[in-house]
Every structure is written in structure tokens, then in C-alpha cells.
Amino acid sequence: HQLAERLQNALRDGELALYYQPQVAAGSGRIENLEALLRWFPKEGGAVSPGEFIAVAERSNLIHRLGDWVLCEACRQKAQWKAMGLGDYRIDINFSGKQVTQVETFKRLEACMEEYELSPRDIGIELTENVLIEADDQVLDTLRRLYHRGMKIAIDDFGTGYSSLSYLKQFPVTALKIDRSFVRDAPSNPSDQAIMAATVFIGHRLGLEVVAEGVENEEQLELVRELGCDLVQGYYHFKPMSATDTQKLLGGLV
């Protein structure tokens, strides 16, 4: 595949970057955490969206090298910001399907965290429901160990997968991220509101944090606050930003 080849060269030529999108407290708007989002800036050829090139990487084995780059870069960046005294913001990393089939993925994460002298509270993990349900016992044991060491583990795109609610009691998770498809129309759509209210209820009863994704305007913010979401992430507060811009933002807060 031509795109897979371009991507392989991009990895070698340093064309990849992590962007960061803050998650804020729903009530105060205070920045709490950062989600790391992979971006590709080709020196030649057209731009490719993350959705597209991550899917291509998933179909080849490139996803492992790409994923390893992401987790090490996130650890490096977190260590740097920590050393600079730029506040205590956790960086959350996305893991895709194939990565989570291999226990080595989490071993490399732990190795990188050790290399940069990070604690389990410095880095978080985001997994989708479909990915979690396919995780084998070895991976689940590793996730449980990380969970017990205090690492935050979020279910991404919650409510859009194929799994049943029973996994919420089996799997080591600390947060639910309500998919932005529910948030988008919620102000005028009672069904979306009902699903979000139910998610907040079940999440809180299970002791989980609930994050509303894709909040783009005041109406959506008002609603997710009323419904009791703990954290908010979306363009209304911040778009994903380069490391340089994120650093400026965090520097202005200390």
C-alpha cells in the first residue's frame, strides 16, 4: 500500500507530531488533563487525516511502531513539562485495536515510563469498548496491574461500540468518555439527553469519572454540566494544539 509506505518514511523522517487537547473541569473550566492526538505533517504530498492514516497503519503492522512512537513521545513530553514545573497535567494516550492485542504494547509503555521516571498518575490510557472486549487475559492482567498502581483508564467513544454493559464490572476502568455524537445534538434531542443522563448515572454509581467529548458551544456545555458530567473536552474550550502552543498555555497558568 502506497500510503503505508509514505507513513513508514514519515516515521523515519520525523513528520509525526503529538498534539494536545485539554480536558477541563465541567464546573470551573480548570484544565485537568491533556489528551495526546497524533498528527502527520508530510513534507511532500497531501495532508492525511489521523482517522485515515491510523486505519492504514492498523491494517499493516506499522501500527506497533507508530504506537510505540506515540507512547514514548508522550512520556518524553510529560517528563519535560514536569521538569519545567508546568503543572501536574496527566497525558492520556489512545490505543487502537491491534496494539491492545499485544501485551508488549503495555510493557513498552511501562519501560518508557520508567526511562522517564514517570509515575502511573502521569500517563493515562484510552481504549474503545470494542478493543477492550477483545483484550485477552494477559492484556487484562496487565491493565489490572496498571489500574491498581493508580493509572487512569478511560473507555473512549462510550456508547458507540458493540459490547454489553457487563464489561463495566469486569474491566479495570476509571472513566467513561461520552462519544461526541451524543453531545452534538443533545440540546435539541431528548434521546441523546436520556443516553447521556443514563451514562452519567451508571458511571457515577460505579465510581467512574464521566467526560463529555466534542463540546463545541455554550448550549452543549450548559447541558453536560446540568447532566453532571465531571469533565469536558471540545472545541468550545480548546482545539488540539501543538506541543509549543500547549506549553505556552500551561506556562501562562503557573
The enclosing H or E element of 24 equals strand 16-25
Instruction: Give least dist CB 154 to Mn ion, A.
Output: 8
Helices vs. strands in the chain: H and E counts, helices first: 12, 8
How far is the C-alpha of 195 from the C-alpha of 211, rounded, in Å?
A: 14
Residue from the set 95, 116, 158, 182 that interacts with ligand G by CB under 6 A: 95
DSSP 31-85: EEEEEEEEEE--SSS----HHHHHHHHHHSTHHHHHHHHHHHHHHHHHHHHHHTT
Q: Which is nearer to Na ion, 48 or 178 (CB)?
A: 178
Of residues 110 and 213, the one with the C-beta less far from Na ion: 213
Kindly determine how many residues on this chain lie close enough to bind ligand G according to the rule CB under 6 A.
Answer: 22
Interface with ligand G, residue 124, by CB under 6 A: no
Q: Which residues bind Na ion (CB under 5 A)?
A: 156-157, 213
Smallest separation (angstroms) from ligand G to the CB of 120: 19
Alpha-carbon distance 124 to 174, whole Å?
10
- Shorter beta-carbon distance to ligand G: residue 68 or 110: 68
**CA–CA separation, 64 vs 54, rounded Å?**
11
Residues that bind Mn ion in the complex, under the rule CB under 5 A: 94, 126, 156
Assess 42 for contact with ligand G (CB under 6 A).
no
CB 186 within 8 A of CB 223: yes
CB of 94 vs Mn ion, minimal distance in Å: 5
Q: Provide the grid cell at 217.
A: 458551544
Name which of 70 and 118 has its Cβ closer to Mn ion. Answer: 70
For the record, the C-alpha cell of 196 comes out as 447521556
Nearest CB to ligand G, comparing residues 124 and 240: 240
Residue 82: CB minimum distance to Na ion, A: 26
Q: Report the C-alpha gap between 192 and 235 in whole angstroms.
A: 19
Q: Which of 26, 70, 131, 132 binds ligand G (CB under 6 A)?
A: 70
- Minimum distance of ligand G from residue 93's CB (angstroms): 6
Decide: is 54 part of the binding site for ligand G (CB under 6 A).
Answer: yes
Helices 62-83 and 2-12 cross at an angle (nearest 10°) of 30
Q: Choose one: 1-9, 188-196, 227-235, 243-251; the region binding ligand G (CB under 6 A).
A: 227-235
Least distance to ligand G, CB of residue 15, Å:
14
Angstrom CA distances, 157 to 26, 68, 252, stand at 18, 22, 31
Interacting residues toward ligand G by CB under 6 A:
21, 37-38, 49-51, 54, 70, 94-96, 156-157, 180, 213-216, 233-235, 240
